[in-house]
Structure 1
Amino acid sequence: MNILICPDSFKDAVSAQQAANAMARGVKRAAPTATTHLCPMADGGEGSLDALIAATNAECRHLTVQDALGRPRQASWGWLSEQRTAFIELAEASGLQHLTAQQRDALHTTTYGVGELLLAALDAGATKALLFLGGSATNDAGAGMLQALGAKLLDQNGAPLPPGGAALEQLAILDLSTLDPRLSKLSVEAAVDVDNPLLGDRGASAVFGPQKGASTEDVATLDRALGHFADLSAQVLGRDDRALSGAGAAGGMGFAAHCFLNATLTPGIEIIMQQAKLPSLLPGIDLVMTGEGRLDGQSLSGKTPIGIARAAQRQGKPVIVLAGSLGDGWEACLEEGVTAAFALADGPMTLEDALPRTAELLAARCESITRLWLARQTE
């Protein structure tokens, strides 16, 4: 019996690696002789760097950069020397998880630290960068990143813009001539887990701004500021990509990555599955187990369990999803290769009670599922 165990992290509870370990323990309790293949996954958000380093044995490097509020922070990034490829997770520098609820400030947070990580990759000799955009605390459309990479964003008096998306409303000059010239030889693939455009009711500010501390008035300010930035960008670049699917990812970083780094925007789970060579593992597998904190209708937009289920479906492999909760519309996942899905809770419990028990509950569910699977095989 060969089981592929490839969960995402369960937010605020266990990492993807810890989840995989717990699931394997449950399988082994039911089937000690089973062969388990552990392949921690992510979809481009927080934890993507860890998943990639685990999958590829890349070197984990560290750099002190500015966080979303401009404070020093030691961020990690991955370096795959033989491929001259850098793995950069936006959340390492500008992640929402590094701020308290009171510190969240969508008007002024910056992606400057992401630019600093890209500079470190260029200094290392990178010819390719995989940029993971989930989990941001920012809404500056990548303006801070551009400033770190050498671009000049100036107001009408010729002064550099201060950090944050709100300042973009004062942008008068966008000078890209001073961008680091090494960027022209850097191939960038940006991982996104949403398909939102830059602006409007489905845009970065309206949909994601509130969770980053934006009030209703702030959302209007930010959408207006990002719209002005898109106008000037179109003038400079000769094309307008504000409506691009994924442009609104990470507070508009999808827009900046595509427009200024010539990045292709790809679902994060697809990139990580490719790097981890997950499709090549599937032919010899009897059962796939995956999971994450919540499974619902929104999971179809590119979340880990659905990416894995679609890949497994192409090879005729059954997929079990374990989720902290099953939300509205989760049944649609059954049409995308999910064989069955189960919530972790073994009785009524609050989230506060459930989080510390996540590993225990994952092991228990996997033990039960494995026992059921073995019983089916003996019929």
Structure 2
Amino acid sequence: MNIVIAVDSFKGSANTFEVADSIEKGIKRVEQSAVVTKLPLADGGEGTVDALVTALNGKYFEEEVTGPLGEKVTAKWGLINNNIAVIAMAEASGLTLIKKEDKNPFKTTTYGTGQLIKAALDYGVKEIFVGIGGSATNDAGVGMAQALGVSFKDKYSQEIGFGAEALANIEFIDDSKLDRRINETKISVFSDVKNPLCGKDGASFVYGPQKGASNDDVEILDQLLKKYGRKLEEQLDINIMDEEGAGAAGGLGAGLLAFCNAEIFSGIDRILNLIKLEEYMKNADLVITGEGKVDSQSVHGKAPIGVARIAKKCGIPVIAVVGSEEANIVDVYNQGIDLVIDIINKPMSLSEAMNNAPELIENAGEKVIRAFALKNKTLKMKEEIV
């Protein structure tokens, strides 16, 4: 039996490698002879660097950069094919870098992400992949642009500070000192969302709450982004507010479009193509995918759906192992996943589930292979009857 495991991380509890290892252990309880191929996976968020560096035999670099709240953090980036840099903004400006009680989208900055881009330029790469999922920020990429040389000054001609709150002070935007190597480098943005910068479907309203914003806060944040967008139009003749993906990562998508001449792509589609997932599926009997939570948003560019679509094209059954699921996931099933198995096996708190994730995922892995074996046994029995 040949099994391909391609799972995203369970954010906060297990990375893509740990999830895959636990599922494999569960499989081996039942089918010790199973041949298991594990492929690290991400959709542009946390784990993007690891997924591509591992799959494509790249190498890592580490940089000390400015974290989301202005502190120093060590962030890694990857190099693949000798001249393509892989950057995940989650490494430098991600939500996982902040304690729950410290979440504050008015204060957080993308400056560290800009520093990672600059480090890649210093290395001399010709192309940069920027994964922009998992952000802690709502600054429209202004911090990133500052790190690359763009100046945002207030009415006193002083450089503004960090965070969305500082956008209110922008009076003058000067891109004359933007790192010109950007113009000689292809920037491809990997995102799993298509939200515009502003409005009810924009960065602040949709993603602000998970970054610590209240209902009142999202209204204020949205107005700050609108004011900034108008400044871009007035002073630089740049209009990106309504572009698809501009609202990704608290507006970092907008910043990359405005100052880095970037193109935005479906993160999971590009990554699955880069790791050549379809090649691994040719001889597979079963594909196992998964992520931390399956819900109504999963059909919009999330990793398991991307995996399922390729598997269905190859005529291979797909089972998803997830940390949790919504009550109604019919859309997920309609996209090609045959069965969703939740790792929760008894009433428990979120913290208990996260602390026991390896064991719970391993148990789910056993359920996967037993369910698949039952299907095959049933088909064999029907053939014998006929």
Match of 1:373 in 2: 372
Residue 160 of structure 1 aligns to a residue in which SS?
Answer: coil
Other-structure match for 1:113: 112
Secondary structure of 2:20 counterpart: helix
After TM superposition, give the deviation of residue 60 of structure 1 in Å: 1.1
Further displaced range: 55-64 or 219-228: 219-228
- Residues 125-170 of structure 1 show CA distances to partners (whole Å, capped at 9, x for unaligned) of 1111111111111110000110110011112222111111122122
Alpha-carbon offset, residue 264 of structure 1: 1.4
Q: Distance in 2 between matches of 1:375 and 1:299?
A: 27
* Corresponding residue for residue 152 of structure 1: 151
Report deviation, 1:244.
1.7
In 2, Cα distance between the equivalents of 1:197 and 1:231? 14
Is 1:308 aligned to residue 307 of structure 2?
yes
User: In the TM superposition, what is the alpha-carbon distance from 1:236 to its structure 2 partner?
Assistant: 4.3
2:73 is aligned with 1:73: yes
AA at the equivalent of 1:257: L
Structure 2 distance, partners of 1:348, 1:109, is 36
The one-letter amino acid of 2:281's match is L
1:20 and 2:20 are equivalent in the alignment? yes
The amino acid that maps onto 1:75 is A
Distance 1:6 1:316 in 2: 16
Instruction: Give how far 1:206 is off.
Output: 1.6
Aligned length: 378
Corresponding residue SS for 2:356: helix
SS for the counterpart of 2:135 is coil
In structure 2, what is the Cα distance between the partners aligned to 1:18 and 1:367?
Answer: 16
Deviation readout 1:282-328 (Å, 9 max, x if unpaired): 22111100111111111111111111111212222211011111114
Please report how far the alpha carbon of residue 211 of structure 1 lies from its aligned counterpart in structure 2 after TM superposition: 2.4
Counterpart residue type for residue 68 of structure 1: P
SS of the aligned residue for 1:129 comes to strand
Q: How large is the Cα RMSD of the aligned pairs?
A: 1.6
Taking the TM superposition and a 5 Å limit, the aligned residue runs for 1:12-161 are 12-80=12-80, 82-161=81-160
Counterpart CA distance in 2 for 1:304 and 1:201 is: 25
Confirm or deny: 8 A CA contact 1:109 1:137 kept in the other structure: yes
Q: Is the aligned partner of 1:175 residue 2:174? A: yes
Q: Distance between the aligned counterparts of 1:142 and 1:30, measured in 2?
A: 49
User: Structure 2: 5+ residue runs without aligned partners?
Assistant: 381-386
Secondary structure of 1:297's match? Answer: coil
Deviations 1:98-118 (A, max 9, x none): 112232221121111111111
Deviations 1:33-60 (A, max 9, x none): 2111100211111122222222122211
Contact 1:199 1:248 in 2 (8 A): yes
Assess, with a 3 A threshold, how the Cα gap between structure 1 residues 328 and 255 changes in structure 2: closer, same or farther: farther
Shift of 1:237: 4.5
Secondary structure class of the residue paired with 2:7: coil
Distance change in 2, residues 1:328/1:367 (3 Å): closer
User: Distance in 2 between the 1:374 and 1:208 partners?
Assistant: 41
Distance in 2 between residues matched to 1:350 and 1:171, nearest whole Å: 44
Letter in 2 for 1:305: P
The Cα of 1:355 is off from its aligned counterpart by: 2.0
**Cα pair 1:132 1:268 within 8 Å, conserved:** yes
Q: What does residue 259 of structure 1 align with? A: 258
Instruction: Provide the identity percentage.
Output: 39
1:286 to 2:275 alignment: no
Q: Contact between 2:12 and 2:96, CA under 8 Å: does it hold in 1? A: no
Separation (CA, whole Å) in 2 of partners of 1:99 and 1:354: 21
Does the CA-based 8 Å contact 2:341-2:368 persist in structure 1? no
Alpha-carbon spacing, 1:206–1:377, altered in 2? closer, same or farther (3 Å) = closer
Q: Answer yes or no: is the 8 Å Cα contact 1:287–1:317 preserved in 2.
A: yes
Cα separation, 2, equivalents of 1:221 and 1:70: 22
* Alignment match, 1:354: 353
Q: d(CA) in 1 for partners of 2:38 and 2:359?
A: 17
Name the counterpart of 2:383. Answer: none
Q: In the alignment, residue 210 of structure 1 is paired with which amino acid?
A: P
- Give the whole-Å Cα distance in 1 for the aligned partners of 2:221 and 2:347: 41
Q: Report the equivalent of 1:215.
A: 214
- Native 8 Å contact 1:166 1:221 kept in 2: no
8 Å CA contact retained: 2:287, 2:317: yes
Residue of structure 1 in register with 2:188 after alignment: 189
Instruction: Give the distance between the partners of 2:46 and 2:91, measured in 1 at CA.
Output: 8
- SS class of match (1:291): strand
**Do 1:7 and 1:304's aligned partners in 2 also have CA atoms closer than 8 Å?**
yes
| Deviating 4+ runs (over 4 angstroms) | none
- Cα distance in structure 1, aligned partners of 2:218 and 2:120: 33
